[in-house]
Amino acid sequence: MELYIDDSPVVIDDIARQTLESVLRHAQERFCTPDRMVVGIRHEGEEIPAGELAGTLQKPASTFSRLDVVTNTKDELVADAMDQASVALTQTEEACRRIADGLAEGKVAESMQALGNCLSVWQQIHEAITKSTQMLDMDSETTLINGEPIGEFANKPMGVLLRVKEALQTQDHVLLADTLKYEFCEVADLWRDVIARIEAEAKTVDEA
């Protein structure tokens, strides 16, 4: 089996009786610095899907011809995640204004479909923030944003999102449009403050 880590070939001896998981663990310990994590594995150029990874790792390493392992540092992963979250936030903020205008014009079905997409993105942003703070070991109580613990600050947007949910449940399209048009900007600003704080923490880790 040919094994590459970040495009550099590496050699692991006596792989005939080892599982792929064992080989990769040895390779990571031997050739990667402690701050690097495996973020992707390709077999003959094709990414192994996350859902198939557990089963694939238990297969004999000798059954694979070429594997490419991609690694990254925690701070680089977080920085990339926050960049994506920032872009997604701007896009959904613009989408909210269009949805509000669509509701005012009576385009309910079209607006509801677009709002469903926004809700999915908001969930992804929230998960990215949560996972990033965990990866950087940021204490939710002692890490502050504008004098408030980041844990409480990051949860503030949930109040507005709950109002969106309530308006959806009661089919109050006027309230929904107003919430999206006038209150979501507050949510966006809060999340931007959290993202900026996480990015600053990731930069500190990178410079350490």
pLDDT in tens, 65-113: 999 999 999 899 999 999 999 999 999 999 999 999 999 999 999 999 9
What is the tally of structural domains in the chain?
2
131-147 pLDDT, tens digit each: 999 999 999 889 989 88
Please tell me whether residues 57 and 84 are part of one structural domain.
no
> Does 13 or 97 have the greater pLDDT score?
97
Please tell me whether residues 98 and 24 are part of one structural domain.
no
pLDDT range class, residue 170, cuts 50, 70, 90: very high
Task: Indicate whether 71 belongs to any domain.
Answer: no
Please tell me whether residues 181 and 94 are part of one structural domain.
yes
Please tell me whether residues 107 and 145 are part of one structural domain.
yes
Residue 208 has pLDDT above 70, yes or no: no
- Rounded to the nearest 10 degrees, the angle between the axes of helix 74-104 and helix 108-135 is 160
> Does 152 or 170 have the greater pLDDT score?
170
What's the rounded mean pLDDT across residues 22-32?
A: 89
Please tell me whether residues 35 and 138 are part of one structural domain.
no
What's the rounded mean pLDDT across residues 183-196?
A: 89
Please give the pLDDT value at position 141. Answer: 87
What's the rounded mean pLDDT across residues 148-168?
A: 85
Helix segments in the chain, DSSP class H: 20-31, 50-57, 74-104, 108-135, 150-155, 157-170, 173-178, 184-207
By the 10 Å C-beta count (0-12 exposed, 13-18 middle, 19+ buried), 4 is classed as middle
Please tell me whether residues 9 and 51 are part of one structural domain.
yes
> Does 30 or 157 have the greater pLDDT score?
30
Please give the pLDDT value at position 196. Answer: 93
What's the rounded mean pLDDT across residues 105-128?
A: 91
Task: Indicate whether 70 belongs to any domain.
Answer: no
Task: Indicate whether 108 belongs to any domain.
Answer: yes
Residue 55 has pLDDT above 70, yes or no: yes
Q: Among 39, 64, 89, where does a domain finish?
A: 64
Please tell me whether residues 95 and 143 are part of one structural domain.
yes
Structure tokens at 162: 């709950």
Task: Indicate whether 18 belongs to any domain.
Answer: yes
Task: Indicate whether 19 belongs to any domain.
Answer: yes
Please tell me whether residues 81 and 12 are part of one structural domain.
no
Please tell me whether residues 97 and 50 are part of one structural domain.
no
* Domain that includes residue 90, residue range: 76-207
What's the rounded mean pLDDT across residues 187-208?
A: 85
Q: Is 43 left (phi over 0), alpha (psi -120 to 50) or beta?
A: beta
pLDDT range class, residue 185, cuts 50, 70, 90: confident
Please tell me whether residues 118 and 57 are part of one structural domain.
no
Please give the pLDDT value at position 207. Answer: 62
Closest CA to 37 of 49, 19, 25, 47: 25
Task: Indicate whether 69 belongs to any domain.
Answer: no
Please tell me whether residues 96 and 192 are part of one structural domain.
yes
CA angle, 169 then 131 then 81, to 5°: 95
Please tell me whether residues 107 and 33 are part of one structural domain.
no
Task: Indicate whether 38 belongs to any domain.
Answer: yes
Residue 4 has pLDDT above 80, yes or no: yes
pLDDT range class, residue 206, cuts 50, 70, 90: low
Report how far residue 97's alpha carbon sits from residue 187's, in angstroms, rounded to the nearest whole number.
14
Q: Among 64, 85, 106, where does a domain finish?
A: 64
Task: Indicate whether 23 belongs to any domain.
Answer: yes
